[in-house]
Structure 1
Amino acid sequence: MTVIAIRSLTIRFGGRTLLENADLMLDAGRKIGLVGRNGAGKSTMLRAITGDLQPDGGEIRLAARAKMGVVAQEAPGGETTLLDSVLEADTERHALLQALEDPAQAHRVAEIHERLIDIRADSAPSRAATILSGLGFDAEAQARPLSAFSGGWRMRVALARALFPEPDLLLLDEPTNHLDLEATMWLEGWLARFPGAAIVVSHDRGLLDRAVDGIAHLDQQKVTFYPGNYENFVRVRTERAAQQESQRVKIAAQRAHMQAFVDRFRAKATKARQAQSRLKALAKLPVIDAVVEDAASHFSFPEPEELPPPILAIEKADAGYGGPPILKGIDLRLDQEDRVALLGANGNGKSTLAKLVAGRLAPQRGTVKRSSKLRVGFFAQHQSEDLDHSGTPLSHMQAALPQATIQQCRAQLARFGLNAERAETRIERCSGGEKARLLLALCTRDAPQLLILDEPTNHLDIDAREALVRALADYKGAVLLISHDPHLVELVADRLWLVADGKVTSFDGDMDEYRALLAERARAGGGGGGSGADRAPTDRAARAQARAQLAPLRARLKEVEKLIERHTLEGKLIEKKLSDPETYASRKAQDIAWATTRQAFLARQIAALEQEWLEISEQLDAA
């Protein structure tokens, strides 16, 4: 059964056409990811589906009696408890229970009870509690009023309210933005089991790889559907683009060859017939457009001054906010080449540790030693709320760099994709992604040796996230990362620190092992974000020993992967230069010879590294 059918949908917004004659069909039980660049119109399309926006053309037809679930744009508030707020989201159950209290409905009591049984009303509290638990709320939190929680936590309640009624069609717009890694992983599992249909707008590759079975790509004002997950979408789209470009080049060569014959022999009587024949064939050749790709996002961090190790060391420190310490006995050090990601559920102290490292929080006990020349860049997503909405990215950068010229301020903004036009756009008109770019530009303006990133990708599209990964790979400083995006953690971090039970400890496994650890806790009844204290000590020790033995191999595997990526990128750049006629006109012969030699060297290196990768992978699989 088709749950929703979208035909010839046209939407214009702000004088710009976002969708034109777009089509999309979704059957019951199917989950699709709606992807596209920031500003392509994904959220606008969802608003049209919910009826909050009137399209300029086409139709959106929802199946008869189909229920739709949507995450509210505003976080719920008031004195209602979390559990009651979620229960009220099932409007039919809520109305039936109220009817039971109404004397005027006494004649319908039997009918109401029968309907309550049909909709499993008796199990509703336990189902609601399970959803809230998965999103990070324990039993005590579920009994507290909404007003006791911050906006981010209340947005989790909004998500729970959308999930609880089990609608026929679920619309989710960036559902992981307010979730930690543990809750994100729980949501992936919940969506995979959800029996209804879902349209998920997300830039979270992990979610799109594990929780959907199709990708709808919004590009060039059209929607193109690709079966499978996001990884399959990237592969198929790349192959199609390559085939299209290859066919375009082939047809162009045929066209040029025929046209040359016609131009040469059109005037000769003996060749006139052949020339006319080729003219007819020329007219029948298909016109294949060149593959149109938006300019790729590019980020670039300023290069910091190199400092002797360690740049920071913390010894026997406790951290908190005046009361009992949140973290105790912290012992760690950071060198300039370190890339560390913090694991642990929200509320365990990750942000507290980040503030201690940044120098924004003094230790309650112990010592924090920093290099005298250490500069720290701190990115926190909530800082976007402190931006002056009447200002522009350029005015913010000028205020942050009062001694810099306007050209220097523009150059720093351009490092993160804020061109001349975007630099002078008022903050109130900037997208979430543009604000995130501005915050990245501001926190790196003085070339810090340590970069602390607290959820840096919440409002970045997938292309911008990949640009951030590439920039961090080239960055010459240390990185401390807090992120709910496993894909980002896997690509950026070389080390993992687990923040739980008031302690900071090294986690010797990788993200797959951490995912397995969380799944094991959930099966044991510990929930998605438990501390893990209930695990058997002997089991924990055995696993830790096994991880320690494999740690060097895993570290080398990641190093090999990064080298392959780096060499491949350099090889593509050289290939692009060598294929450009301008290269031969403007460069010296020895430069071209060096590029050719370098290209061959990189190819040999990549082949050797790929062989090493296969050998290490086989060893790990056999372990």
Structure 2
Amino acid sequence: MIRFENISKQNSHRILFLETSAALNRGEKVGLVGPNGTGKTTLFRMITGEESPDTGQVAIEKQVSIGYFNQDVGEMSGRSAVAEVMDGAGPVSTVAAELASLEAAMCDPDRADDMDAIIERYGEVQARFEELGGYELEGRAREVLAGLSFSQEMMEADVGALSGGWKMRVALGRILLMRPDAMLLDEPSNHLDIESLIWLEEFLKGYEGALLMTSHDREFLNRIVTKIVEIDGGSLTTYSGDYAFYERQRALNEKQQQAQFERQQAMLAKELKFIERFKARASHAAQVQSRVKKLDKIERFEPPRRRQIVSFDFPPAPRSGEDVAVLKNVHKGYGQRAIYQGLDLIIRRKERWCVMGVNGAGKSTLLKLVARATEPDAGTVAVGASVRMGYFSQHAMELLDGERTVFESLEDSFPQANQGSLRALAGCFGFSGDDVEKKCRVLSGGEKARLVMALMLFNPPNFLVLDEPTNHLDLDTKQMLIMALAAYEGTMLFVSHDRHFLAALSNRVLELTPEGVHQYSGGYMEYVARTGHEAPGLRS
């Protein structure tokens, strides 16, 4: 359906693709992976025609419809979310617009002279609208928006009033309703809660077209894709399997390539030693020449290209008391809306609480209460003896000074630290070389998140309060954070929509539901086994 044939592409001085090929066939569900900056978005843009390869070609079968979702959703305002989603439904949306225009014309007394022609045209357009399934379109649009966690009120409201994250859901809904022959989804799992993610998984599993997508959510990839295309070092490499298979296969390939390289290096060293030893002896001249010619003809194996994966080891944090945080009879609300009414919770040393709940259930509010970023309306929140807290929130990223560089931000926070240790810290969080001289205002969301974590973890707290710490992080950085936190000996209270993160790190679950607050001993996987659902909003 879509083929990349010997494509090469250079961006400024950087080679993204070098005479490489791959294909997306009918009905395939393919995950596109690779480090940031390797060209994933460029590949999408070459399919849509927004960019062209320098050499080679992108071949697309005739009359294949393509829907492309990316993070740049543009301006949206003046229409309801339902109307905006319906507008993306291909030819039927054009017909719907004409139908609405004709209905308005029929009610316009100034058009009375044209009424016969208008009515005749209305009949033609109405028949076409019905043929295209237009009357079911609004119902399908509402179903898609409901799956993406929109309430009925939000569906009807002006899309311009929505936050950026909700506008992205509207843009995604447009593509899903369109059901094109091929769907290109660039990070569709960003900004989605678990309930929406699971709905989207089921939708995409049932989608019969070809799917090419990127995602920083490994569980999401594992459940949908059956093929992985990796971009690395200018090449496109195809793996038949899900993301977990790709990881295993890639590690095996690297191991085999390293062994092959080492065997060849040992053989070359042996041959060169023989040549060096006997090159001055006439009696061995023929043998020496033969071996020199042999070495000239050998195709040299390369060592595997190893990705630079960030790693971070927590320095030991001071020990806290046994009761890290105690909430007693806490009431909290906003306006007429009550969030908590009489909440009791004790967080003890080394416990790792993950907080589950639908949008608006009060997850971030709980973390703010514990971090003293907001006060309860009634009741008490007490932090225990010797507790040193580190609080990560999306708001923390907005507080970075845009005019300071990455390194200056670290120096400002730790004036007593030497430059070497600060550079090592920056390197752990993916800021190497000239990256430390970037001003904070030009950092991506992921870079800002990494910098805030570096600032928080240099002098490690013994109680981490983390509100969506994996938002904006790529798969490799997310894995680094999971490995570092798995070895962390302090206490944690966190919110995350990443099921891999939840499963790897939690040993307690706090579930917020309209019926009340439920506490579960055991981690996220035990919670799923006991309740039979992956998130509170999926209760039957």
Render the CA deviation track for 1:35-70: whole Å, top value 9, x for unaligned.
111222212322332233344333223222222212
CA contact (8 A) 2:506 2:523 kept: no
Please give the per-residue CA displacement for 1:242-268, whole angstroms capped at 9, x wherever unaligned. Answer: 111212222222233333334444555
Q: Which residue does the alignment assign to 2:114? A: none
1:586 is aligned to none
> Could you tell me how far apart the structure 2 residues matched to 1:370 and 1:78 are?
45
State the 1:304 CA deviation: 2.2
What is the SS of the residue equivalent to 1:7? Answer: strand
| 1:222 corresponds to 2:235 | yes
Q: Which stretch shifts more, 351-360 or 87-96?
A: 87-96
Q: Offset at 1:180?
A: 1.1
Distance (Å, rounded) in 1 between the aligned partners of 2:196 and 2:303: 42
Q: Deviations over 1:43-99 (max 9, x none)?
A: 232233223334433322322222221225136532422112111111411211233
SS at match of 1:326: strand
Percentage of identical aligned residues: 35
Residue 375 in structure 1 maps to residue 382 in structure 2: no
The answer for the alignment partner of 1:68 in structure 2 is 66
Please tell me the residue identity of whatever aligns with 2:45: R
Alignment of 1:115-154 (within 5 A): 115-154=128-167
**Higher mean C-alpha deviation, range 403-412 or range 19-28:** 403-412
In 1, Cα distance between equivalents of 2:530 and 2:171: 28
Return 206-215 or 496-505, whichever deviates more.
496-505
- List per-residue Cα deviations over 1:398-429 (Å, max 9, x = no partner): 44446666666545434423235222112243
Rounded Cα–Cα distance in structure 2 between residues aligned with 1:518 and 1:185: 16
Which shifted more, 93-102 or 463-472?
A: 93-102
Distance verdict in 2 for CA 1:444–1:277, change over 3 Å: closer
In structure 2, the residue matched to 1:183 is 196
- Secondary structure in 2 aligned to 1:210? helix
Show CA shifts across 1:211-243 (max 9, x none).
111111110011111111001101111111111
SS of the residue 2:174 aligns to: helix
Q: Which moved more, 1:270-279 or 1:312-321?
A: 270-279
Provide the C-alpha distance between the structure 2 equivalents of 1:112 and 1:402, rounded to a whole number of angstroms: 71
Q: How does 1:414-453 map to 2 (within 5 A)?
A: 414-419=427-432, 421-453=434-466
Q: Name 1:351's counterpart in structure 2.
A: 364
Counterpart-to-counterpart distance in 2, 1:258 and 1:123 = 75
Query: Distance between the aligned counterparts of 1:499 and 1:520, measured in 2?
Result: 14
1:36 to 34, 37, 53: 34
- Secondary structure of 2:334's counterpart equals coil
Q: CA deviation at 1:181?
A: 1.5
Partner of 2:113: none
Counterpart residue identity of residue 218, structure 2: R
Helix, strand or coil: the match of 2:323? coil
Deviations 1:2-22 (A, max 9, x none): 1x1122333322432222223
Q: In structure 1, give the amino acid aligned to 2:81.
A: L
**Contact kept in structure 1, 2:320 and 2:385, CA below 8 Å:** no
Amino acid of the residue matched to residue 380 of structure 1? S
Deviations 1:352-392 (A, max 9, x none): 11111111111122211112542322222354344333331
After alignment, is 502-511 or 121-130 more displaced?
A: 502-511
**Cα pair 1:181 1:344 within 8 Å, conserved:** no
- What displacement does 1:205 show? 0.5
Q: Which residue of 2 aligns with 1:291?
A: 304
Instruction: Report deviation, 1:178.
Output: 0.4
How far 1:197 sits from its partner (Å)?
1.1
SS in 2 for 1:366: strand
247 and 414 in structure 1: CA distance in 2 versus 1, 3 angstrom threshold: closer
- 1:246 matched to which residue of 2? 259
Q: Is 1:320 aligned to 2:333, yes or no? A: yes
| Residue equivalent to 1:464 | 477
Q: Does residue 78 of the first structure (1) align with residue 77 of the second (2)?
A: yes
Write the letter of the residue equivalent to 2:367.
A
CA shift digits 1:326-365 (9 cap, x unpaired): 1222221222312121122222111111111111111122
Give the SS at the match of 1:28: coil
Q: Alignment partner of 1:228: what SS?
A: coil
Where 1:223 maps in the other structure, the secondary structure is strand
- Offset of residue 136 of structure 1: 0.8
Question: Does the Cα contact within 8 Å between 1:203 and 1:462 map onto a contact in 2?
Answer: yes
How do 1:95-114 and structure 2 match up within 5 A? 95-100=94-99, 101-102=101-102, 112-114=125-127
Give the counterpart letter for 1:18 in structure 2: L
Distance of 1:320 and 1:385 partners within structure 2: 25
Residue 440 of structure 1: how far off its partner (Å): 0.7
CA distance in 1, matches of 2:28, 2:53: 24
Counterpart of 1:22 in structure 2 is 20
> Residues 258 and 513 (structure 1 numbering): CA distance in 2 closer, same or farther, change over 3 Å?
same
Q: Is the 8 A contact 2:321 2:386 kept in 1?
A: no
Taking a change above 3 Å as real, the CA distance of residues 55 and 379 of structure 1, as seen in their structure-2 partners, is farther
- Of 454, 463, 468 in structure 1, the residue corresponding to residue 467 of structure 2 is 454
Distance 1:111 1:517, change over 3 A: farther
Q: Does 1:396 align with 2:409?
A: yes
Residue aligning to 1:581: none
Which structure is richer in relative contact order (CA contacts within 8 A, separation 6 or more)? 2
Deviation of the 1:282 alpha carbon = 3.3
1:499 is matched with 512
Q: Secondary structure at the match of 1:99?
A: helix
SS in 2 for 1:311: strand
1:194 Cα shift?
Answer: 1.1
Alignment of 1:606-621 (within 5 A): none
Question: Aligned letter for 2:214?
Answer: V
Partner of 1:171: 184
| Residue 387, structure 1, aligned to residue 385, structure 2 | no
Root mean square deviation, CA, Å: 2.7
Contact 1:78 1:145 in 2 (8 A): yes
Aligned to 1:530: 537
- Aligned residue number for residue 541 of structure 1: none
Say which is worse superposed, 313-322 or 22-31, in terms of deviation: 313-322
Equivalent position of 2:92 in the other structure: 93
Aligned to 1:210: 223
Residues 441-466 of structure 1, C-alpha deviations (whole Å, 9 max, x = no match) = 22335422211222222222211111
Distance 1:295 1:156 in 2: 33
> Deviation per CA, 1:117-141, whole angstroms, max 9, x where unpaired?
4432222122111211111112232
Could you say which residue in structure 2 is the equivalent of 1:594?
A: none
SS in 2 for 1:179: coil
TM-score, normalised by the number of residues in structure 1: 0.78
Counterparts of 2:389 and 2:302 in 1: how far apart (Å)? 48
Q: Secondary structure at the match of 1:317?
A: strand
- In the alignment, structure 2 segments of 5+ residues that lack a partner are 106-116
CA change 1:227–1:128 in 2 (3 A) is same
| SS in structure 2 of the partner of residue 320 of structure 1 | strand
**Which residue does 1:479 correspond to in 2?**
492
CA distance in 1, matches of 2:277, 2:415: 66
1:284-336 C-alpha deviation (Å, 9 max, x unpaired):
43311111212221124443221111111111212233543212222212223
Q: Is the 8 A contact 1:339 1:492 kept in 2?
A: yes
- Residue correspondence of structure 1 range 326-341 to structure 2 within 5 A: 326-341=339-354
Question: Matched residue of 2:337: which SS?
Answer: coil
Q: TM-score, normalised by structure 2?
A: 0.89
Number of residue equivalences: 525
Letter in 1 for 2:361: N
CA distance in 1, matches of 2:527, 2:44: 34
> Residue 6 of structure 1: which of 4, 7, 10 is its match?
4
Distance 1:320 1:398, change over 3 A: farther
